[in-house]
């Protein structure tokens, strides 16, 4: 007999509106992501739309992704945007010195990125070069993209094929400037940001949302010192910052496809510790910005497994299993449950790199288990997050990951992983509950008690597989995919549904 795992959904306890940008993506010039993951060129035998892979466009359009971050990552602070405009045959060939000294032909530049975003229906997010670049270079890039009037830069954009401005809203001033973006200390970066931001202008019809480099992991000192500099050094510059971007990778336990049940739990504990990153950095930001005018975002996150044996180390190619799907689900549910303090999150990365949505090989393109989580969670976007309280049994107190997880909380709090983790939201009178059964081997009956509403019939959709190592390959591309939705009858404010082990589930129904 299956155990019963109980959760409470309190419709009256509203948390905040779930920003659609929490489902953001990240596309860096790294490994096989851009070439051939997105760009194959007009003359390729692979079907394409003006050089962009058609199968990738077709796969991503149904997800209605809200935003894609580009060109990096570490690549961004060595990237000079003028190398990626104009006739492709005249663009300089450079080397990607952060990622294996790979050749960079610059065939995929600003215009190609904007075309890709428009093809899949997403907003562009551009990371500017604050490491090796200049304030003028970044300011010129913004004018080139966003100015609709008559200037040398807008004329150049038109000559390169874009009569109308691109209207790019999201601009980051550097990436990981404590490391690959210039090895700066917090005060040096805070001053660099302020100087460069000074020359990033709003143009008619396009208001810039400027994003500053935040901390890596639990580096509380970085957040405190940049915030202190912006607020207290000579005059208050906090108004120049619209968002602060933290990074958090939960890493691995075992390998991408080979791990024990204990390692399954270890990685999910590390993934759940992202809650500490969010709450810890927001608490420090609140000391300087109590009205929360500056958003907190996490623009790099996800798993980071050992490189596949037949791939180069610099390519960061990894497979993607049901464990990765659970990492994604746990993380997205945590974001929902903190919808009042987090604005954007960009998983790393879109195609062929780290925790990718798609894998491509030659003319073949497949979806990963993580792709299906993003599909499953779409109804949460722009919904009102409401309180989700899990009464499920604890299955892991951190184990080998305990000290690692404790370090992710500003108050050094320990982490306990419960069997059922999830979130809930309401939009247009429809309740959406998503959850992960984090137990690697035990199915359960999930009992949902609803406070502040009633349900009749609900639609239940599951992402599940009998093997915790299950993943899609080019020979078996549908090993892991969403099951056909089933209709389950609720009894007033109580619902029970079978929840397979190591799975992700969505429950949707109209509130009475």
Per CATH, the number for 3-10+386-510 is: 2.60.40.1180
**Distance from C-alpha of 41 to C-alpha of 43, rounded to nearest angstrom:** 6
Question: At 307, is the pLDDT very low, low, confident or very high (cuts 50, 70, 90)?
Answer: confident
Topology alike, domains 3-10+386-510 and 19-383: no
- pLDDT of res. 406: 85
Per CATH, the number for 19-383 is: 3.20.20.80
Instruction: List, in sequence order, every beta strand (DSSP E) within 20-150.
Output: 24-26, 48-49, 52-53, 67-70, 94-96, 102-104, 123-128
Calculate mean pLDDT across residues 406-418: 86
**Contact indicator for 470, 419 with CB cutoff of 8 Å:** no
- pLDDT of res. 404: 83
Q: Which percentage of the chain shows pLDDT scores above 90? A: 91
Is 90 exceeded by the pLDDT of residue 71?
yes
Calculate mean pLDDT across residues 167-190: 98
Peptide bond into 451 cis (omega under 30): no
- pLDDT of res. 91: 97
Report the range of poorest mean pLDDT among 39-43, 232-236, 240-244.
232-236
Report the range of poorest mean pLDDT among 23-27, 376-380, 489-493.
489-493
- pLDDT of res. 437: 97
Question: At 242, is the pLDDT very low, low, confident or very high (cuts 50, 70, 90)?
Answer: very high
DSSP conformation letters of 174-198:
-S-TTTTTT---HHHHHHHHHHHHT
Calculate mean pLDDT across residues 325-330: 98
Report the range of poorest mean pLDDT among 26-40, 43-57, 396-410.
396-410
Calculate mean pLDDT across residues 72-101: 96
- pLDDT of res. 492: 83
87 closest CA partner among 70, 104, 112: 112
Calculate mean pLDDT across residues 36-52: 97
**Distance from C-alpha of 462 to C-alpha of 400, rounded to nearest angstrom:** 30
**Contact indicator for 214, 223 with CB cutoff of 8 Å:** yes
User: From the candidates 28, 112, 300, 447, which is the catalytic residue?
Assistant: 300
User: From the candidates 112, 176, 266, 447, which is the catalytic residue?
Assistant: 176
Domain positions in the chain: 3-10+386-510, 19-383
Half-sphere exposure of 6 (CA within 13 A, CB side): 5
**Is 300 among the catalytic positions?**
yes
Is 70 exceeded by the pLDDT of residue 1?
no
């Amino acid at each position: 007999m299956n155990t019963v795992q109980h959760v409470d959904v309190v419709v009256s306890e509203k948390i905040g509106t779930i920003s659609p940008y929490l489902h953001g993506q990240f596309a860096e010039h790294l490994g096989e992501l851009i070439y051939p993951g997105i760009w194959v060129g007009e003359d390729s035998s692979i079907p394409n739309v003006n050089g962009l892979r058609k199968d990738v466009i077709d796969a991503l359009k149904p997800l209605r992704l809200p935003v894609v971050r580009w060109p990096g990552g570490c690549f961004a602070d060595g990237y000079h945007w003028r190398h990626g405009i104009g006739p492709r045959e005249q663009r300089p060939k450079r080397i990607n010195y952060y990622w294996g000294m790979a050749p960079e032909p610059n065939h995929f530049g600003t215009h190609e990125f904007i075309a890709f975003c428009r093809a899949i229906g997403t907003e562009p997010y551009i990371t500017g070069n604050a490491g090796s670049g200049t304030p003028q270079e970044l300011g010129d890039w913004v004018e080139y993209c966003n100015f609709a009037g008559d200037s040398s830069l807008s004329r150049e954009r038109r000559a390169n094929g874009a009569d109308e401005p691109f209207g790019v809203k999201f601009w980051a001033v550097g990436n990981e400037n404590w490391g690959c973006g210039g090895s700066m200390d917090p005060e040096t970066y805070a001053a660099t940001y302020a100087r460069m931001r000074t020359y990033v202008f709003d143009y008619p019809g396009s208001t810039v949302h400027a994003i500053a480099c935040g901390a890596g992991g639990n580096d509380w000192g970085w957040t405190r010192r940049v915030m202190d500099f912006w607020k207290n050094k000579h005059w208050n510059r906090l108004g120049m910052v619209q968002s602060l971007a933290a990074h958090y990778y939960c890493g691995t336990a075992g390998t991408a496809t080979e791990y024990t049940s204990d390692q399954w739990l270890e990685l999910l504990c590390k993934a759940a510790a992202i809650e500490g990153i969010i709450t810890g950095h927001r608490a420090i930001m609140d000391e300087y910005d109590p009205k929360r005018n500056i958003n907190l975002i996490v623009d790099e996150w996800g798993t980071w497994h050992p490189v596949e044996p037949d791939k180069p180390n610099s390519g960061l190619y990894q497979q993607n299993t049901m464990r990765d799907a659970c990492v994604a689900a746990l993380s997205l549910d945590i974001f929902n449950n903190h919808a009042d303090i987090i604005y954007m999150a960009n998983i790393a990365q879109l195609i062929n790199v780290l925790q990718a949505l798609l894998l491509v090989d030659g003319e073949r393109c497949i979806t990963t288990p993580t792709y299906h989580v993003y599909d499953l969670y779409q109804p949460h976007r722009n919904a009102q997050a409401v309180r989700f309280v899990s009464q499920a049994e604890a299955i892991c107190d951190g184990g080998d990951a305990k000290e690692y997880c404790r370090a992710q909380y500003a108050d050094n709090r320990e982490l306990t992983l419960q069997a059922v983790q999830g979130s809930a939201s309401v939009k247009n009178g429809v309740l959406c509950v998503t959850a992960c059964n984090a137990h690697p081997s035990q199915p359960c009956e999930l009992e949902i008690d609803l406070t502040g509403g009633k349900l009749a019939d609900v639609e239940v959709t599951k992402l599940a597989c009998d093997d915790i190592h299950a993943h899609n390959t080019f020979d078996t591309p549908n090993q892991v995919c969403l099951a056909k939705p089933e209709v389950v009858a609720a009894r007033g404010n109580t619902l029970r549904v079978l929840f397979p082990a190591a799975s992700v589930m969505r429950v949707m129904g109209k509130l009475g």
